[in-house]
Amino acid sequence: MIRKLWSWFRAPSTRYGRGAIFVAGGLAGILFWGGFNTYMEYTNTLGFCISCHEMRDIPYEEYKKSIHYRNRTGVRVVCSDCHVPKDWTAKLLRKIVATRELFYSLAGTIDTPEEFEARRLQMAERVWASMTASDSRECRNCHSFEAMDFDKQARRPRQKHPRAVEEGKTCIECHRGVAHRLPETEEDDD
């Protein structure tokens, strides 16, 4: 049986042995997969995210004023920490959806601050719906109710977080506008 398999593997095709074709295909697959994953991770960097002026000029400037950019502990999150899931399958799906954003960028849909502001609520609602549907999965990569010491929190979160746990609320229901300015039609009760 092994001898038969080995002779099939070594048998010549029109020009190369099947084994050589098999090995070359395997190497090509490894190179493709490695390149694909490397590029996908590159698209999660801050530099990539702000390479478009639409992101650099408005959302990035807002984020630089947020607690997620500069804080007492020195922990900084970047765009992908909040907008891209860690799980590979969910990340791939998010990247596929993001291709729509590339289309709008190329089309110049939010080229000016005025156009961005006109669409801010629509874009925010899309992100909020996604985060609500995933139970604020990206927030929970760093924050969890189980790890919170409510007694060490300020008065307001000390009151609200236990109630949020009881009511099964997700982070984004209360923490909209934590890294970006809220659309003008949204009220911020914090």
Q: What is the pLDDT of residues 18-73, one digit of tens each?
A: 677 778 888 999 999 999 999 999 999 999 999 988 888 999 999 999 999 998 88
Check pLDDT > 80 for residue 179.
yes
Report yes or no on 103 lying in a domain.
yes
Query: Any idea what DSSP says for residue 78?
Result: -
Check residue 100 and give its pLDDT.
85
Report yes or no on 87 lying in a domain.
yes
Of 34, 118, 49, nearest to 83 by C-alpha is 49
Of 97, 6, 83, nearest to 45 by C-alpha is 83
Rounded Cα distance between 58 and 65, Å, is 11
Check pLDDT > 80 for residue 190.
no
State mean pLDDT over 144-156: 92
Rounded Cα distance between 37 and 95, Å, is 12
Q: pLDDT-derived band of residue 136, with 50, 70 and 90 as boundaries?
A: very high
Q: What domain range includes position 153?
A: 44-174
Q: If residue 125 lies in a helix (H) or strand (E), which one and from where to where?
A: helix 113-133
Residue 139, token pair as written in the block: 């927030």
Q: Is the pTM of this model over 0.85?
A: no
Task: Name which residue leads in pLDDT, 23 or 150.
Answer: 150
Rounded Cα distance between 188 and 176, Å, is 8
Report yes or no on 58 lying in a domain.
yes
Report yes or no on 89 lying in a domain.
yes
Rounded Cα distance between 64 and 41, Å, is 22
Q: Tell me how many domains the chain contains.
A: 1
Of 190, 169, 82, 176, nearest to 120 by C-alpha is 176
- CATH number reported for the structural domain that contains residue 73 in this entry: 1.10.3820
Residue 91, token pair as written in the block: 């990340």
Check residue 80 and give its pLDDT.
92
Report yes or no on 79 lying in a domain.
yes
The phi, psi pair for 124, rounded to 5°, reads: -65, -45
Report yes or no on 75 lying in a domain.
yes
Q: pLDDT-derived band of residue 15, with 50, 70 and 90 as boundaries?
A: low
Check residue 30 and give its pLDDT.
95
Report yes or no on 184 lying in a domain.
no
Report yes or no on 13 lying in a domain.
no
Reported as a single tens digit per residue, the pLDDT across 74-126 is: 989 999 999 999 999 999 999 998 888 888 888 888 888 899 999 999 999 99
State mean pLDDT over 160-166: 94
Check residue 69 and give its pLDDT.
93
Check residue 17 and give its pLDDT.
65
